[in-house]
Chains A and B, each alone.
Chain A
């Protein structure tokens, strides 16, 4: 097998290499560069080796303690978001109309929250949930519920989670709806002939057919919620205390508040690696399970 091998083809790929180098690799390398140095301002840097990383991964140090706390908050937040948004999104997709004008109408309504910029979402909820003038917060307080996201830890968490659910459940619903639309009518007809109940149809047909889009939905929602910054920053600013200080919020505090570029760089690299690792493991496990069973595609 003598394939003609043309080295000139590499020239075609060169522009992409250059763009990726300038847009991703070089900035990342500056972060790597910062993460092994310390600075006291005045653009003076000192070599610190792996010091920042050692401190970061030691929960007894100041930096390590902050990091571990924020990491738990992030994990809790992502879990809550997934537990609420995935079933809710499926439920919304199942109850959406399949024919007629209702399809377009519900798609537009669902897409609306996705079109709003993050910081605007934060501002909307910051006002909406205020206990003095916000409709949501005011109503809760009138109902006798002590709700104030500025002072109450639980209230702050509820606000941040409800806000994320409001913002992103649409994405899950739209993905699931696309999955549902791809099921041929014959499946539903066969299920009717087989005398399947509504629940049995969901378990035997709809859920398995939504599997692929659900894998993507969980992946996207995990990544995005794990990186959450703007909305809680606008609404709670990480408070009360540090109750809603997620890793990204803490990162900005360290980098811009304290100007500890070395610590911040080390933290962002570890943060990045965590997301990459979790997503890679999740995706590999899910897709390999998929190909295991599905050697004969339908």
Chain B
């Protein structure tokens, strides 16, 4: 069981990195608590897999140290670290049965046969693999194979952290939910740190206690799913989390008044004075409603997306800024005379992309 500390860690795949753009992972320090469920979330190529491989020891960082509790493991090879990793594609040993697959890591560590049997039986029960124990592993479906991959990690009594590298990529959608709840269940039962890399926000938000959003090698925000939804630290997080992403409207801030497109939005909190920078008002589409003209900021309706549960209107402000707004249930839309109403309690203000902390009042 371990707390994982990444100390002033940076990594570059180039031999002689000079500028920040050379780094796949920008220098930063992170502390991940023992027993937590973390998700590393970001678009492809943002450095999340590199970060994961540094923790597992498959990649040696260019700079900085990796600590498990107080132990420096930076120079240790993968097999000497107390971690297990589940990969994007199920890794199973084709010629072995499920039982032999699960026993493999223990056999390699020369554990007594009786102990191996009991561990394998226990983990197989946990993963619902007991009926398949004597079948050839290659004959199982992709989700069962992925469970075997996970099982080979769980079966080791010394494992303190399990790393997942987009483990549900090849799993059928209807089984994804099942497998993900299985992961949650296992996380609750066993006191083990789980770090989960994904570019799928639904996976990250449903799996993790803490989500770490990455972009271009840097961590943009670490927080609970609620934090990321309600208070994105950066416009990137606002865009990336939520579907559709957060709206950002150019505005002027005067204390607790935000002026958008000539209309005043009265905010419940007061902001410090900012000058000369790009100031934007961020609001989730869920909290922007399309209303009849005269009840808000006038807009032109571009198109309407029916998402089944809700309808989203794509509208534009007179200056051309695009906004996504929710259409209230049962409302009829008059495309020629529409406006948007912003819920002031859900507004965040961004200066040059970063969230501005209000002086008083709170969300």
Contact = CB atoms under 8 A, between A and B. Distances in A.
Contacts of B140: 296
A184 interface: yes
Given A186-B91, A205-B93, A293 B136 contact: yes
A196 interface: yes
Interface stretch (A18-26, A187-195, A254-262): A187-195
A296 B144 CA distance: 11
Contacts, number: 68
Contacts of B104: 194, 196, 200, 204
Contact-residue size bin, chain A (C-beta under 8 Å from the other chain): 20 to 34
Interface string A197-216: 10010001101110000000
B141 A296 contact: yes
A295 B138 CA distance: 8
Contacts of A296: 138-141
| Binding site secondary structure of chain A | helix
Nearest to B90: A298
A297 to B, nearest CB: 8
Interface in A245-272: none
B93 to A, nearest CB: 4
B94 interface: yes
Nearest to B144: A296
Interface in B108-145: 108-109, 136, 138-141, 145
Interface in B68-119: 77-79, 83-85, 87-96, 104-105, 108-109
Given A293-B138, A294-B139, A296-B139, A196 B108 contact: yes
A192 B95 contact: no
A293 B342 CA distance: 61
B138 A192 contact: no
B105 A195 contact: yes
Contacts of A204: 93, 95-96, 104
Contacts of B94: 208-209, 298
A200 B95 contact: no
Contacts of B93: 204-205, 208
A193 B88 contact: no
Contacts of A294: 138-139
B28 interface: no
Contacts of A293: 136, 138-139
A193 B78 contact: yes
A193 B162 CA distance: 11
A189 B138 contact: no
Contact of B85 (A190, A205, A207, A209): A190
Given A209-B94, A293-B138, A293-B139, A189 B109 contact: no
Contacts of B87: 186, 189-190
A189 B85 contact: yes
A195 B103 CA distance: 12
Contact of B89 (A186, A195, A207): A186
B152 A194 contact: yes
B83 A194 contact: no
Interface in A146-191: 184, 186-187, 189-190
Contact of B109 (A195, A209, A298): A195
A187 B149 CA distance: 11
A186 B92 CA distance: 10
A189 B139 contact: no
B50 interface: no
A209 B94 CA distance: 8
B58 interface: yes
A209 B93 CA distance: 10
Would you list the 8 A-B pairs with minimal beta carbon distance, nearest first? A190-B91, A195-B108, A194-B105, A186-B87, A204-B93, A208-B94, A195-B79, A192-B78
Interface of A: 184, 186-187, 189-190, 192-197, 200, 204-205, 207-209, 293-296, 298
15 contacts: A186-B88, A187-B91, A189-B85, A189-B87, A190-B85, A193-B79, A193-B153, A194-B105, A196-B108, A197-B108, A205-B93, A296-B138, A296-B140, A298-B89, A298-B90
Interface of B: 56, 58, 77-79, 83-85, 87-96, 104-105, 108-109, 136, 138-141, 145, 149, 152-153
Given A190-B152, A298-B94, 19 more contacts: A187-B91, A189-B78, A189-B85, A189-B87, A190-B149, A192-B78, A193-B78, A193-B79, A193-B84, A194-B105, A194-B108, A196-B104, A200-B104, A204-B95, A204-B104, A208-B94, A296-B138, A296-B141, A298-B89
